[in-house]
């Protein structure tokens, strides 16, 4: 059994592009306020974090542009797929995040959504945007690593 399975954590969705577009400074865990049909849809894995972000508004933390597909059997109980959803954190954590995001170039980006026991949790990252040359540098490093692995594999066979 893996560590995630032992602790009751089941990943539902990940924002893979976030690690490519941002330098991740720190991560935080937050609960999320959802309706029943949204929870059922998330449990089914029908969630997209692309282009989503979090922001502090009037002392409360919200996630924007997180797409939760409507539940098939939800009919009139389904909510707007792109609605703003409130994130649940302690007041002092929210004020700390507000102070950190006021600094130059920092954003709150959802990295993943997962089930922890019976609760839906969001992993938030305090992130700073990468410039184009930073992205190119990361790609070049990744390619160099692949080249090294390939050379080592060929040497092992030879």
- Region 118-132: mean pLDDT is 83
pLDDT at 61: 87
54 near 32, Cβ under 8 Å? no
- Region 103-128: mean pLDDT is 85
68 near 81, Cβ under 8 Å? yes
Looking at domain 3-129, does it have CATH number 3.40.640.10? no
**Structural domain boundaries of the chain?**
3-129
Q: pLDDT band at 86, cuts 50/70/90?
A: confident
Whether the model pTM is above 0.85: no
117 near 8, Cβ under 8 Å? yes
The rounded percent of the chain whose pLDDT value lies above 90 is 2
Q: pLDDT band at 7, cuts 50/70/90?
A: low
Q: Does residue 1 have a pLDDT over 70?
A: no
Write the CA distances from 134 to 12, 88, 143, integer angstroms.
29, 33, 14
CA 96, CA 12: separation in Å to the nearest integer? 27
Write the CA distances from 99 to 94, 96, 106, 151, integer angstroms.
9, 5, 10, 48
CA 48, CA 113: separation in Å to the nearest integer? 9
């Amino acid at each position: 059994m893996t560590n995630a399975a032992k602790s009751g954590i089941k990943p539902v969705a990940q924002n893979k592009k976030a690690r490519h577009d941002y330098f991740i400074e720190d991560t935080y865990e937050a609960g999320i306020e959802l309706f029943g049909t949204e929870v059922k849809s998330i449990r089914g894995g029908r969630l997209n974090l692309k282009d989503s972000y979090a922001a502090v508004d009037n002392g409360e933390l919200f996630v924007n542009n997180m797409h939760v597909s409507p539940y098939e059997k939800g009919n009139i109980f389904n909510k707007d797929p792109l609605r703003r959803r409130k994130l649940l954190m302690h007041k002092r954590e929210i004020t700390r995040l507000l102070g950190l995001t006021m600094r130059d170039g920092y954003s709150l980006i959802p990295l993943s959504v997962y089930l922890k026991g019976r609760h839906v949790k969001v992993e938030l990252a305090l992130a700073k945007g990468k410039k184009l040359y930073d992205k190119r540098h990361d790609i070049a490093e990744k390619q160099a690593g692949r080249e090294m692995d390939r050379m080592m594999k060929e040497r092992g066979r030879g």
